[in-house]
Amino acid sequence: MKTVLVTGASGYIGSHVCYELVQNGFIVDGIDVVDSENTRELVKHLRNYWRRDIGNSNIKGAYDIVVHCAASISVEESMSDPSGYYENNVSNTLQLIRDIKTSHFIFASTAGAFNPISPYAKSKIFAEDIIKQHCDNYTILRFFNVAGSNGKFRQIGKSTHLIRIAAEVAAGKRQKMTIFGKNYVTRDGTCIRDYIHVVDLANAIVNAAKEQAQNNDYECIAAGKGFTNKEVCDTMIKVSGVPFDIEYGENREGDPATLTVHGNLSSYLDIKYTLEDMCKSTYEMEMKA
């Protein structure tokens, strides 16, 4: 059986990835700088779990595969703290490559790399370049907006993603829903994004781990269809059965009007879930929390 190290293992994406890898017969170790509510369930499935920063982990060794999910991920935060994002997303990636030997490095990048306005997106591009320069075999996955849950793990920490924020409003945890910008050149004036269910994403990583690295520039991980922010909120209202008002704020710095698939979807994908599934499972997890 192949051994896998997953960084950011207690995070939203990392926890789902660990779970699906284990379900598919991989031996998985996890590392994350924090313990979260996901960790209690996660450690049941892992061989080892370390609460450490990958930039100073003191973990050295070899794995068949490394899945690098650990990162700072807020576009808004990166605009005010660009150096912190370069340190965590770029320098720590290089340190991980130096510390851990692997025959297949799988990197969780971002679709923001197609239109790198924010330091967050730029930091991911720099990390991609480092991986290409230092790793003999790699898979770079550019994720579009990730949402949903498998019913075991959830998004943690401060809410920054639209679907989770809308779910919190529907669950009564927020008083209002604010969409940033209504004058973009789109069908209803709000930003358009492509969304991928986290389980579909995790299974794409499993499929990549089962194969030899192709060393492509990147793989597009998305559902292949764009939805406006207003359409997402309307979908949340529909699946939750909870009507809520929508307010509009100013355009947010760092947000492109449209971010959808550039080029073909990855062959690692087998899409099974819809936007409705993403909204419903996110809402259900917020109601349970």
Q: Which residues are part of the catalytic machinery? A: 120
- Lookup result for tokens 């490095």: 105
Are 156 and 37 in contact by the 8 Å Cβ rule? The answer is yes
Are 63 and 5 in contact by the 8 Å Cβ rule? The answer is yes
**Residues 175, 169: Cα–Cα separation, whole Å:** 6
Exposure class string for 113-126: b at 16+ Cβ within 10 A, else e = bbebebbbbbbbbb
- Helix axis angle, 198-210 to 12-23, nearest 10°: 50
82 Cα distance to chain centroid: 19
Picking from 157, 119, 215, the residue whose alpha carbon sits closest to that of residue 12 is 157
Picking from 212, 151, 159, the residue whose alpha carbon sits closest to that of residue 19 is 151
**Residues 211, 104: Cα–Cα separation, whole Å:** 9
Picking from 92, 109, 108, the residue whose alpha carbon sits closest to that of residue 100 is 92
Exposure class string for 31-41: b at 16+ Cβ within 10 A, else e = bbbeebebbee
Type of residue found at 288: K
SS3 63: strand
**Residues 79, 195: Cα–Cα separation, whole Å:** 23
Structure tokens belonging to residue 261: 């698939």
Are 188 and 231 in contact by the 8 Å Cβ rule? The answer is yes
